[in-house]
């Protein structure tokens, strides 16, 4: 039976006989069992050609050992809160308990009446299809636990979803992208919505928003020309996200049935009474993944073909962009896992095999980018949108910690009940099982790179160095970022874990301001800022020991040594390191004079030296700071390995001028998403390349998302 015929059969079956007739697979109560002392859960079937090779037996068992730790961690946490988006954590926490024998209680809670059933969600039969974080759990509830739902409730969800996806519940300017789709139905539907959109904008009062509603192309028929529509979109996009999203709210051709276009303004609150959308309007990578995937799945389930194909096009574009530019919310320690989790829903529940392939490609890529920053249980900088949680999520996939994760993330319900496993090459990166030392320089796009012009040029570049027993990463950018952590060192502990060192030119360890410019070449780094009254801050583990010799601060950790050369900052500030033997020690090093201030730093692995004293002697004898001109912001720094970093602070574009062993490195000319700087670096991906190549340990993985959205891959392990 063809895909289309199968989908039409499924829809007819549900409408005629009720939701329960679709269940060809066993109910969830028959999909978990105990084997060798471990609870194991059977996923829904996924086409074999879109599965990565099975993990080695020992690796698969380790996965289930970690999974059992997660499941047991949430025992007894049964109870769904339904106000707003409180299902975010209460759905998955409750679901874990199904596999601990509390099936009836869990299913009763999952079918709790929504707090806004008679108001915000009345038009979708009382089911919350609005909030993004709720949608993530709703999909696993409906598709994975669906056979255990009461037939009337499952039918209620189906009917609500059919109403919800009858038309695009979140129309936006981004529909312009779909005018280039190869699918004529998508192009036709996108054009229809855009024309309604444009007509509605023309009817708005000129003072309806804080920006300009003027249409520079008024009176001109834009036809089906994507370039003209891009130019039309640009005039609004250039005014900033709050302006163009407020226009989307006010001109929405399908406003909320109860709240209309909402009270506004954008940025006040996110609920439908303010935003006026039929689906959560927030557009961060993680929230659009939750929303767009849920819309796709429910449109596919209920037979709303135009909406299904429009959202297939949008998902295809996101995944294709991953393999060409990375993504705007790059490597977020706070939100990357919220982008990964909904792609498990797409992988597990989509019927269209082309979409399953796209979901796999997304999961492979996102796990790979997480693996680059995962180090012995830590999620490290550089990272966009700081916070926390990624380490506690990808621990399930990578482990590599001396003890089980004490606070595993609740969204692990998705990978634990999923058919997906990362490629072994990706897991090897997460476990540090590749040849080291290794270095990469990787580009990062602007946050809103889906906007016109957003893909022309990267915005930031990270340098990552893996020593034998440590990691060092830093970031340079053409602009400042309030939500980026730009620098971090992780150092191996003797117990198998790691601890990190962080620094910044202000008291908040996160955020990087214009004028903060970091140059890094493998294990040496220079950070300068031009300021008259600067104070650098460091967070250093109290377990380290430190001593000062000839104006250089030397730090000893279990397996890692550091030499910090203060540059116009107070060297005596590091005395505090010897006053504590635990926790994080806060070091405040104020500027002591001059225009430029900062530090130069070199790391070393214990195994490369006889002992700590040997490291100190060699650093002092080498006198690596060959040239320092803090009037002009110029430093030449040579490592014990013989590599020379030439650094000059730049006033031009906020990117330092860098020479690596005498050769200039122009960031703007090197756009590679993942660029190996030696033979050991495990990933490569060219800017606009489409093909991700990974070699780590004894495994190799290569995957291409082609221009037409098709996916091909090969894996060796």
pLDDT tens profile 651-671: 999 999 999 999 999 999 999
Task: Give me the pLDDT at residue 198, please.
Answer: 98
Task: Express each pLDDT in 61-90 by its tens digit.
Answer: 999 999 999 999 999 999 999 999 999 999
Task: Please state at what angle helix 87-96 crosses helix 103-110, rounded to 10 degrees.
Answer: 160
**What is the per-residue pLDDT for 629?**
97
Longest dimension (CA), the chain: 84
- pLDDT value of position 1: 27
Judge contact between 385 and 405, C-beta under 8 A. no
Give the three-class secondary structure for 555: strand
pLDDT of residue 25: 76
pLDDT of residue 330: 98
Q: Helix or strand or coil: residue 378?
A: strand
For the segment 617-651, what is each residue's pLDDT rounded down to a tens digit? 999 999 999 999 999 999 999 999 999 999 999 99
- ω into residue 265 within 30 of 0, thus cis? yes
Whole-number Cα distances in Å, 72 to 87, 251, 407, 418, 681: 20, 49, 11, 18, 37
Q: In the block, which residue shows the tokens 């698969």?
A: 60
Which residues in the chain land under pLDDT 50? 1-23
What pLDDT sits at residue 13? Answer: 45
| CA–CA gap between residue 90 and residue 149 (Å, rounded) | 17
Q: Which tens digits make up the pLDDT trace of 683-708?
A: 999 999 999 999 999 999 999 999 99
Token pair for 92 = 């998955």
* Whole-number pLDDT of residue 581: 80
- pLDDT for 234: 98
Parallel, antiparallel or unpaired: strands 545-549 and 560-567: unpaired
Q: What is the pLDDT of residue 24?
A: 67
Distance CA 147, CA 27 (A): 5
**Do the beta carbons of residue 32 and residue 42 sit within 8 Å?**
yes
Torsion of Cα atoms, 61 then 62 then 66 then 68, to 10°: 20
- Count of alpha carbons within 13 angstroms of residue 638, beta-carbon side: 13
**Coil, helix or strand at residue 23:** coil
- Which residues are bridge partners to 559 per DSSP? none
CA dist 380 and 385 (Å) reads 12
The rounded radius of gyration (Å) of the Cα atoms in the chain is: 27
H-type helices in 326-466, by residue range? 336-349, 353-373, 390-398, 413-416, 424-430
Which of 455, 600, 604 minimizes the C-alpha distance to 517?
600
Give the distance from CA 654 to its chain's centroid. Answer: 25
Instruction: Convert the pLDDT of each residue in 92-114 to its tens digit.
Output: 999 999 999 999 999 999 999 99
Reduce the secondary structure of 425-439 to three states and give it as a string. HHHHHHCCCCCCCEE
Q: How many helices (H) and strands (E) does the chain have?
A: 18, 29
């Amino acid at each position: 039976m063809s895909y289309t015929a199968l989908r039409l059969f499924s829809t007819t079956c549900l409408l005629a006989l009720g939701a329960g007739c679709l269940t060809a697979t066993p109910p969830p109560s028959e999909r978990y069992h105990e084997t060798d002392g471990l609870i194991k859960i059977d996923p829904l079937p996924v086409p074999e050609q879109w599965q990565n090779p099975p993990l080695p037996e020992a690796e698969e068992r380790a996965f289930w050992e970690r999974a059992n730790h997660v499941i047991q961690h949430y025992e007894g946490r049964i109870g769904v809160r339904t106000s707003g988006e409180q299902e975010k954590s209460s759905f998955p926490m409750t679901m874990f308990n199904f596999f601990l024998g509390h099936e009836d209680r869990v299913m009763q809670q999952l079918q709790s009446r929504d707090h806004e059933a008679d108001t915000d969600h009345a038009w979708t039969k009382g089911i919350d299809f609005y909030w993004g974080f709720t949608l993530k759990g709703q999909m696993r509830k409906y598709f994975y636990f669906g056979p255990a739902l009461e037939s009337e409730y499952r039918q209620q969800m189906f009917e609500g979803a059919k109403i919800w996806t009858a038309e695009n519940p979140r129309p936006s300017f981004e529909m312009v992208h779909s005018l280039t789709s190869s699918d004529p139905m998508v192009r036709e539907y996108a054009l229809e919505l855009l024309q309604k959109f444009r007509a509605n904008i023309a009817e708005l009062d000129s003072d309806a928003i804080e920006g300009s509603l003027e249409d520079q192309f008024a009176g001109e028929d834009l036809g089906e020309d994507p370039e003209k529509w891009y130019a039309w979109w640009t005039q609004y996009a250039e005014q900033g996200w709050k302006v163009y999203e407020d226009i989307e709210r006010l001109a929405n051709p399908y406003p909320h049935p109860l709240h209309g276009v909402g009270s506004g303004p954008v940025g006040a609150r996110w609920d439908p009474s303010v935003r006026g959308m039929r689906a959560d309007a927030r557009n961060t990578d993680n929230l659009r993944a939750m929303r767009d995937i849920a819309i796709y799945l429910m449109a596919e389930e209920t037979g709303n073909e135009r909406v299904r194909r429009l959202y297939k096009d949008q998902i295809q574009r996101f995944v294709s962009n991953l393999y060409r530019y990375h993504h705007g919310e790059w490597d977020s320690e706070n939100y990357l896992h919220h982008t990964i989790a909904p792609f498990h829903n797409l992988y597990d529940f989509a019927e269209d095999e082309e979409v399953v392939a796209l979901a796999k490609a997304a999961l492979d890529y996102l796990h790979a980018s997480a693996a680059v920053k995962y180090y012995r249980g830590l999620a490290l900088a550089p990272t966009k949108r700081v916070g926390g949680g990624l380490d506690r999520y990808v621990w399930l996939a990578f482990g590599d910690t001396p003890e089980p994760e004490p606070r595993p993330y609740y969204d692990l319900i998705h990978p634990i009940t999923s058919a997906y496993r990362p490629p072994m090459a990706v897991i090897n990166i997460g476990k540090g099982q590749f040849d080291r030392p290794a270095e990469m320089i990787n580009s990062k796009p602007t946050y809103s790179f889906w906007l016109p012009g957003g893909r022309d040029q990267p915005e930031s570049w990270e340098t990552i160095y893996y020593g034998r027993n440590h990691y060092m990463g830093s970031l340079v950018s053409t602009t400042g970022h309030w939500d980026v952590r730009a620098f971090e060192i992780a150092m191996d502990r003797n117990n198998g874990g790691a601890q990190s060192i962080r620094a910044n030119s202000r008291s908040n360890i996160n955020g990087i301001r214009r004028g903060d410019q970091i140059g890094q070449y493998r294990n040496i780094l220079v950070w300068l800022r031009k300021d008259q009254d600067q104070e650098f801050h460091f967070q250093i583990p109290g377990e380290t020991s430190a001593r000062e010799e000839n104006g250089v601060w030397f730090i000893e950790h279990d397996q890692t040594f550091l030499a910090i050369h203060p540059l116009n900052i107070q060297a005596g500030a590091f005395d505090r390191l010897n006053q504590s033997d635990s926790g994080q020690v806060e070091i405040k090093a104020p500027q002591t004079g001059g225009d430029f201030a900062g530090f130069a730093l070199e790391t070393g692995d214990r195994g490369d030296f006889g002992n700590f004293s040997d490291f100190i002697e060699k650093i002092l004898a080498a006198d690596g700071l060959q040239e320092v001109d803090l009037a002009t912001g110029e430093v030449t720094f040579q490592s014990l390995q013989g590599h020379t970093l030439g650094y000059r602070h730049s006033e031009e574009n906020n990117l330092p001028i860098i020479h690596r062993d005498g050769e200039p490195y122009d960031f703007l000319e090197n756009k590679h998403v993942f660029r190996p700087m030696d033979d050991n670096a495990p990933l490569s991906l060219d800017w606009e390349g489409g093909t991700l190549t990974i070699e780590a340990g004894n495994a190799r993985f290569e995957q291409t998302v082609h221009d037409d959205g098709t996916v091909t891959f090969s894996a060796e392990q």
